[in-house]
Structure 1
């Protein structure tokens, strides 16, 4: 029985390792003074001008991921 538990524990560790490596590779948005969705001016340190732009950007990125881009 310990073989099954050992293999499961090993698989979980590998999955966590792969997920962490993927998270490190994912590019992060940087605040540049413009909304990342509509390109309007935003306050210093902000990524989006409002929650609608943020939500639309996230939906667009999810659609691109699902499409394999």
Structure 2
């Protein structure tokens, strides 16, 4: 017979599994040589030209998610 700790452990494992599955479905940015926010040229392997563009992009994406888009 399982106790409260066993049920809690099972629930945590299920929540982690669901969260990881959701994260895998999320589109990922690909480094294409251009900043994903301002379209400036960037070094190979970078997504943004600086931290301001990165932060602005993340804030914009959060606002879109809050708006349901």
Do Structure 1 and Structure 2 share a fold, with TM-score over 0.5? Answer: yes
CA distance in 2, matches of 1:56, 1:37: 8
Counterparts of 1:12-31 in structure 2 under 5 Å?
12-31=12-31
User: What residue is the counterpart of 2:44 in the other structure?
Assistant: 44
Q: CA RMSD in A?
A: 1.6
User: Structure 2: 5+ residue runs without aligned partners?
Assistant: none
Runs of 4+ in 1 over 6 A off after TM superposition: none
User: Structure 1: 5+ residue runs without aligned partners?
Assistant: none
TM-score normalised per structure 1 = 0.86
